[in-house]
A = this chain, B = another copy of it.
């Protein structure tokens, strides 16, 4: 089992990702696709006059502050446009894909954090009304049911709180939790860079290999959203996933290239 997470930033070639996945799926490989939608969510939020608000935690992680209106915009993009766009691409390629959010069948469950500690202008504040959380539990039953019947699951945040409330969760860490729960051989975190860069944005400074035991020490090289990928990678290898690969989803055969060792390999 391979878990492929593809991000939602500018430059990602979803046609290339889907074509590569379709080829491998038809050749008998079992995989699950997890996707993001951050860039498009920002555009829609701006267009609707409710611009995104990103907050930084005291430990330096950036996340989207998700009030109820933002959650609905988030769902429109992630669960609507992005998820069904990917399912349509796969169906056109003859793969019987099924698109689901973490709410559906409570695939992704975690605690709802209604308030969040953030640093703004050098001060720590508490913001309330947040719909966020972290995936703590992956309910694999529905996924195994689908896979055993020949359907390819295409998953996206949000997750469900233990009370059934929709919560925005980080897609990379959700994919890591999924890879652990499914005992996946590999977790691919594909985005619009070649991998983890020692000197961002210099693509020639790609870090080729990271020993699993040292992955957290590489956090210093990670910019912004790449931090969550490094954190997810650390969680995945600790949880028993054989390899985590940060790969490039902008062209070519993104999944095959990453599995072939292109990008940054954590193992």
Binding site for B on A (CB under 8 A): 44, 47-48, 72, 75-81, 83-85, 87-88, 90-94, 96-101, 103-106, 141-142, 145-146, 149, 151, 158, 160, 163-166
Give A237 Cβ to nearest chain B Cβ, in Å. 31
Which of the residues B81, B85, B99 comes within 8 Å of A104, measured between beta carbons? Answer: B99
Pairwise interchain contact A72-B81, C-beta atoms closer than 8 A: yes
Residues of B within 8 A of A77 (CB): 76, 80
**Given pairs A75-B81, A88-B103, 17 additional interface contacts (CB within 8 A):** A72-B80, A76-B77, A79-B99, A87-B103, A87-B104, A88-B160, A88-B165, A91-B103, A91-B106, A92-B164, A96-B105, A97-B104, A98-B100, A98-B105, A100-B104, A142-B149, A145-B145
- In the complex, the answer to whether A101 meets B104 with C-beta atoms within 8 Å is no
Q: Is the CB of B142 within 8 A of A98?
A: yes
**Shortest distance in angstroms between A180's beta carbon and chain B's nearest beta carbon?**
23
- In the complex, what residues of B have CB within 8 A of residue A164's CB? 88, 90-94
13 contacts between A and B (CB under 8 A): A47-B47, A72-B80, A75-B84, A76-B76, A84-B101, A84-B103, A84-B166, A87-B104, A92-B165, A97-B104, A98-B104, A100-B100, A145-B149
The answer to whether A151 touches B105 (Cβ under 8 A) is yes
- Report A179 CB to chain B, min CB distance, Å: 22
In the assembled complex, the CB of A194 is this many whole angstroms from the nearest CB of chain B, namely 30
Q: Which residue of B lies closest to A72 (CB)?
A: B81
Contact B84 A79 (CB under 8 A): yes
- Which residues of B lie under 8 Å from residue A145 when comparing CB positions? 145-146, 149
Q: Within 8 Å CB of A75, what residues of B?
A: 80-81, 84-85
Q: What is the CA–CA distance of A86 and B57 in the complex, to the nearest angstrom?
A: 32
A37 to chain B, nearest CB (A): 10
- Max count, chain B CB within 10 A of own CB: residue among A80, A93, A106, A142: A80
The CA of A85 and the CA of B131, in the complex, are separated in Å by: 14
Query: Which residues in B have their C-beta under 8 angstroms from that of A85?
Result: 72, 75
Min CB gap A126→B, angstroms: 25
Kindly list chain B residues whose C-beta atoms are within 8 Å of the C-beta of A94.
164
Bound-state Cα–Cα, A101 to B47, Å? 26
Give the nearest-CB partner of A89 in chain B.
Answer: B164
